[in-house]
């Protein structure tokens, strides 16, 4: 028994366990379920039933079996490589799309620490910068896939992806500098912890949405563009360039792209929640229990951690839902309109946000 506990204290072992639990148990699961939920929600919006035919005997689970059916189908399908494709790049490109979306989760805290045990895979002190570094890697998956496919539509999609992601990263970074300035750190766990401090005698939490409201809208818009979701989905606009950069892919590699898209939706939601909606924090819940206006309710640490994890997951799912609803409500921008929006509107706004934040901090300091 002691030996097991000893092994559990080894950081590497802890990290592996966390990876298994968080990434496989949460991220992959949510990403997979989202593929079905998107279709279900879309059907609800569009006044129809949605997928419900996959079945085992009489059991359909309201379409839940479609997840399994899709998985099996994509694995069993032929993995085609088009003539004239750059074979090596073509085959590895989906991984470039897939892994960055997963890597982001290394620095996302799921709950507050209990003693020395943290619910975060690694708490590097450059957390936010790491997130940026990793998400910008995602562009390689699209560019390499589109370039290697030897297809003009795919190439157009790849070019659109690269210019869109590069442009939107600029103001994405700028919009977050306000957050760095307000909380004075780039370490994700610190930012989340500081969001549990309060204005007006512990009444209003200092969440990012309250300290940096404009930055939230800029950041969320930019993140939608980074995840290539409507209204920024020209890279894969099905009515123009069919499916864009992953047009030629089939089978498991195609589903890797699809899954990467859904995992990055979850990642976008999680990052937004972490930075602007208090991460795992529940308002007025402290490590020892609730405190509000002099009233307090003591809770054991395990319950607090569970509550926090629950709050984080709930908030993340709400944002996933929002992103999907946006997709089925809005049309998509034209490519030049995306660029105009990014460079001519979002960039000046994020700069203005920066200046105002700096002035306010200077005056209140």
Partner 1 sequence: MKRSNLPLEFGAEPMDIEIGPSHPAMHGITRLSTRLDGEVVTAVEVEIGYLHRGFEKECENSTYVQVIPYTDRLNYVSPILNNIGYSLAVEKLFGLDVPKRAQYARVILGELSRISDHLTCNGAMGMEVGAMTVFLWYVKAREYLWELTEEVTGARLTHNWTRFGGNANDLPDTFFDMLEERLKKVEAVLEEGVKMLFKNKIFLDRVKDVGVLSRERAIEYGFTGPMLRATGEPYDLRRAEPYLVYNELDFEIPVGTVGDSYDRFLVRHEEMLQSISIIRQAVAKIPKGGHYQHDRRAWLPDKTEVYGSIEGLIDHFKVIMEGSTPPKGEVYQAIEGGNGELGFYLVSDGTGKPYKCRVRPPCFNFVSALPEMLIGHYVGDIVPIYGSINMIGGELER
Q: Can you give the binding site for partner 1, defined by CB under 8 A?
A: 42, 45-48, 152-153, 156, 230-231, 233-234, 237-242, 328-337
Smallest separation (angstroms) from partner 1 to the CB of 326: 11
Smallest separation (angstroms) from partner 1 to the CB of 217: 15
Smallest separation (angstroms) from partner 1 to the CB of 339: 10
Per DSSP, what are the bridge partners of residue 119?
111
Q: What number of CA atoms fall less than 13 Å from residue 333's CA on the CB side? A: 21
Which residues fall within 8 angstroms of residue 311, CB to CB, at 6 or more apart?
A: 280, 281, 282
CB–CB of 329/315 below 8 Å? no
Smallest separation (angstroms) from partner 1 to the CB of 202: 41
Q: Which is nearer to partner 1, 273 or 323 (CB)?
A: 323
Q: Which is nearer to partner 1, 14 or 52 (CB)?
A: 52
Which residues fall within 8 angstroms of residue 259, CB to CB, at 6 or more apart?
A: 28, 31, 32, 35, 98
Handedness of CA 243, 245, 246, 248 (dihedral sign): positive
Q: Which is nearer to partner 1, 18 or 327 (CB)?
A: 327
Tokens (6 digits) for 143: 């560019």
Which residues fall within 8 angstroms of residue 158, CB to CB, at 6 or more apart?
A: 142, 143, 144, 145, 146, 147, 235, 244, 245
Q: Which is nearer to partner 1, 112 or 244 (CB)?
A: 244
Q: Which of 118, 39, 113, 49 is nearest to 328 (CA)?
A: 39
Smallest separation (angstroms) from partner 1 to the CB of 113: 43
Smallest separation (angstroms) from partner 1 to the CB of 164: 12
CB–CB of 273/312 below 8 Å? yes
Q: Which is nearer to partner 1, 96 or 333 (CB)?
A: 333
Residue 291 φ then ψ, to 5°? -140, 120
Q: Which is nearer to partner 1, 39 or 291 (CB)?
A: 39
Q: Which is nearer to partner 1, 2 or 336 (CB)?
A: 336
Smallest separation (angstroms) from partner 1 to the CB of 329: 7
Exposed, middle or buried: residue 300 (CB in 10 Å: 0-12, 13-18, 19+)? exposed
């Amino acid at each position: 028994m002691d030996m097991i506990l000893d092994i559990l204290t080894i950081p590497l072992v802890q990290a592996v366990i966390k990876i298994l639990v968080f990434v496989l148990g949460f991220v992959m699961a949510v990403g997979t379920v989202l593929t079905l939920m998107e279709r279900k929600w879309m059907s609800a919006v569009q006044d129809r039933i949605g997928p419900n035919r996959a079945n085992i005997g009489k059991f359909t689970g309201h379409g839940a079996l479609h997840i399994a059916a899709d998985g099996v189908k994509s694995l069993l399908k032929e993995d085609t490589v088009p003539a004239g494709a750059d074979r090596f790049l073509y085959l590895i490109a989906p991984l470039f799309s897939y892994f960055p979306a997963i890597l982001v989760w290394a620095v996302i805290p799921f709950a507050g620490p209990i003693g020395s045990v943290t619910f975060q895979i690694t708490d590097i002190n450059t957390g936010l910068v790491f997130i940026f570094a990793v998400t910008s890697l995602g562009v390689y998956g699209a560019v390499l896939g589109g370039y290697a496919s030897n297809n003009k539509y795919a190439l157009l999609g790849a070019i659109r992806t690269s210019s869109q992601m590069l442009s939107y990263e600029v103001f994405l970074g700028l919009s977050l500098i306000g957050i760095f300035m307000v909380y004075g750190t780039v370490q994700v766990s610190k930012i989340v912890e500081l969001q549990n401090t309060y204005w007006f005698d512990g009444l209003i939490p200092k969440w990012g949405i309250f300290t940096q409201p404009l930055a939230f809208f800029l950041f969320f818009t930019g993140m939608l563009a980074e995840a290539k979701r409507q209204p920024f989905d020209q890279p894969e606009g099905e009515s123009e360039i069919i499916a864009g950069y992953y047009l030629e892919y089939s089978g498991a590699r195609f589903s890797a792209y699809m899954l990467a898209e859904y995992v990055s939706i979850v990642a976008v939601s999680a990052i937004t929640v972490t930075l602007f909606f208090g991460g795992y924090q529940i308002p007025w819940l402290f490590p020892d229990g609730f405190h509000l206006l002099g009233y307090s309710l003591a809770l054991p640490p395990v319950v607090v951690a569970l509550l926090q994890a629950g709050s984080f997951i709930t908030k993340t799912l709400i944002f996933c839902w929002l992103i999907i609803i946006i997709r089925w409500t809005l049309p998509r921008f034209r490519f030049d309109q995306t660029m105009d929006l990014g460079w001519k509107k979002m960039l000046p706004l994020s700069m203005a946000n920066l200046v105002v934040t700096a002035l306010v901090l200077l005056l209140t300091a």
